[in-house]
Amino acid sequence: MVEKNTKNVKVVTENRKAYHDFFIEETYEAGIVLTGTEVKSLRAGKANLKDSYAQVQNGEMFLYNMHISPYEQGNRYNVDPVRPRKLLLHKKEIISLMGKVMQQGLTLIPLKVYFQRGRAKVALALARGKKLYDKRAAMAERDARREMERAARGKE
């Protein structure tokens, strides 16, 4: 599970759309295998989690469709911006996640990429997709809460 320790954490990018499109069931913290130029590009904040997902292959976890822009001074050391990247999790966690994804029809999506004590980490979520009516209900609930807050502020 992801710890709530926010000391020495620098968030690079967040997947805000994930909260709109999915019900988040559990979150996990995973390390990510990167090259040197990818790390420099991440430190500059040049990453995008849109449409990215994680999947188990041959007993290893990989992150797909995460875009890390090429580093400007990287020249020949730059790699493909959307290449699959290996995630570092304990074997038991990988087996557990694989079982949940297969049996319960859940999806693994990254919520955010951040640096913690100098190491790149990914917050992975075990999520269930929302239907259109779920999204509409969530929007209506958010609007109602906003109206109540406005009314409460107006009376003070």
Specify the CATH architecture of the domain 9-130. Beta Barrel (2.40)
Burial 134-146 (b: 16+ CB within 10 A, else e): eeeeeeeeeeeee
Cα–Cα–Cα angle for 52, 29, 132, rounded to 5 degrees: 45
Could you tell me the residue ranges of all domains in the chain?
9-130
**Rounded Cα–Cα distance for residues 74 and 58 (Å):** 31
**Rounded Cα–Cα distance for residues 127 and 19 (Å):** 9
Look up the pTM and report it.
Answer: 0.79
Quick one: CA dihedral 24, 30, 34, 38, positive or negative? positive
Cα–Cα–Cα angle for 139, 140, 144, rounded to 5 degrees: 120
How confident is the prediction along the chain (156 residues), in pLDDT tens digits per residue?
Answer: 555 566 788 898 998 888 888 889 999 999 999 988 889 889 988 899 988 999 999 989 999 999 998 888 878 878 888 899 999 999 999 999 898 888 887 899 999 999 999 899 999 999 988 888 888 888 899 899 999 988 888 766
For residue 51, what are the β-bridge partners?
none
